[in-house]
């Protein structure tokens, strides 16, 4: 079944993500454990967000840049008592670890890929927190915060829907954790369901909507960037763009008529002229890079002969923390 067909005839998983609560197996995402006395200093110098001073139980969303200011990966960075956990897309799992390792000179830092030894499940949808309460699962109060729950860690992170929680734990416990969430009423959702819902919510995905050709300001996900944190790799470019106050293109969400699907790669026309290109799409919505003159909320454009309205992309909303290692 194609993504557009799944929207026109919603699956139970898609319906749950949009209207109730669904569970997603996100274990293919990369998880890198960062330990050592210099772990905060290294991550602070390598990412766009403020890492030094983070307390156990806190988390941030950040970009990792190259020297040219291009995004080589994005990640949720969770602070624990004795380590940080980086949660990134599967495609960046190895490249991010190699990128960080390249800059470890005399630092006391170790990078351990724990993806295969751990699981990650998402409980997402507008009723996800009620469902969590039914399973006696704590819901961290702040965005990206996390808390210990028995042998698991629960973080306030959503991949697709308007709200959600992410549960981490040992790989051998994945089935029992999944069964617990489903017994509380969560419906299993597929990768296709999640993809359709994240596009409908204008959620960019690294490797699809943003990549190593993108600078942070073009993504419009500026919660990932802390402008007073001090030096980090790629900062010079980011600051130069900020001082000029201008980029040539911006990532935008768009809506077309309900049920209408357009293809990734389709051209965006503004006032009859080519102004951008679709990066991902589902029936009725999508994301596209659009040239700055047209990239305004409410702008009317044309995609494959169909009228569309532009909107800014969205990050993860604030949710409704101390923590230990998992």
Q: Is residue 320 part of a domain?
A: no
Q: What is the pLDDT of residue 261?
A: 84
Structural domain includes residue 310 = no
Residue 191 lies in a domain: no
Domain assignment present for residue 81? The answer is yes
Kindly give the parts of the chain with pLDDT less than 50: 1-8, 316-326
Where in the sequence is the domain holding 34, given as residue range(s)? 22-185
Instruction: Sort 305 into a burial class: Cβ within 10 Å, 0-12 / 13-18 / 19+.
Output: exposed
* Alpha carbons 289 and 270: distance in angstroms, whole number: 12
Classify residue 170: in a domain, yes or no.
Answer: yes
Residues 234 and 69: beta-carbon distance below 8 Å: yes
Residue 154 CA to residue 280 CA, distance in Å, equals 29
Strands 187-188 and 30-35, sheet pairing = unpaired
Pairing of strands 249-255, 152-155: unpaired
Q: In the numeric block, which tokens belong to residue 162?
A: 């308007």
Instruction: Record the pTM.
Output: 0.92
Kindly state whether residue 276 falls inside one of the protein's structural domains: no
Number of domains making up the chain: 1
Residue 241 lies in a domain: no
CB 196 within 8 A of CB 3: yes
Percent pLDDT > 90 in the chain is 86
In a domain, 77, yes or no: yes
HEC string of 227-296 equals: CCCCCCCCHHHHHHHHHHCCCCEEEEEEECCCCCCCCCCCEEEECCEEEEEEEEEECCEEEEEEECCCCC
Which pair of tokens denotes residue 251?
């990532």
pLDDT at 322: 29
CATH of the domain at 52: 3.30.1360.120
Greatest C-alpha distance within the chain = 58
pLDDT at site 305: 93
């Amino acid at each position: 079944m194609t993504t557009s067909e799944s929207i026109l005839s919603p699956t139970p998983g898609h319906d749950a993500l949009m209207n109730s609560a669904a569970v997603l197996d996100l274990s293919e995402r990369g998880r890198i454990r960062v330990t050592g006395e210099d772990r905060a200093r290294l991550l602070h110098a390598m990412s766009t967000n403020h890492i030094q001073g983070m307390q156990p139980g806190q988390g941030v969303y950040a970009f990792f840049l190259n020297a040219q200011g291009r995004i080589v990966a994005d990640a949720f960075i969770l602070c624990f008592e004795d380590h940080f956990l980086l949660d990134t897309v599967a495609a960046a799992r190895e490249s991010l670890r190699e990128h960080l390792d390249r800059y470890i000179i005399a630092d006391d830092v170790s990078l351990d890929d724990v993806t295969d030894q751990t699981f990650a499940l998402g409980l997402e949808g507008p009723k996800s927190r009620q469902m969590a309460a039914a399973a006696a699962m704590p819901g961290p109060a702040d965005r990206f915060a996390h808390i210990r729950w028995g042998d698991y860690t629960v973080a306030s992170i959503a991949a697709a829907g308007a709200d959600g929680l992410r549960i981490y734990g040992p790989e051998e416990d994945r089935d029992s954790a999944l069964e617990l969430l489903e017994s509380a009423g969560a419906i299993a959702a597929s990768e296709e369901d999640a993809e359709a819902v994240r596009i409908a919510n204008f959620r960019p995905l690294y490797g699809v909507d943003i990549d190593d050709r993108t600078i942070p300001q073009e993504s419009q996900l500026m919660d990932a960037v802390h402008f007073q944190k001090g030096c980090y790799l790629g900062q010079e470019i980011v600051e130069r763009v900020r001082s000029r106050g201008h980029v040539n293109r911006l990532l935008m969400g768009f809506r077309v008529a309900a049920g209408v699907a357009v293809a990734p790669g389709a051209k965006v026309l503004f006032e009859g002229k080519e102004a951008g290109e679709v990066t991902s799409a589902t029936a009725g919505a999508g994301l596209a890079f659009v040239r700055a003159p047209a990239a305004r909320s409410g702008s009317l454009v044309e995609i494959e002969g169909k009228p569309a309205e532009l909107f800014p992309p969205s990050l993860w909303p604030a949710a409704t923390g101390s923590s230990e290692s998992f």
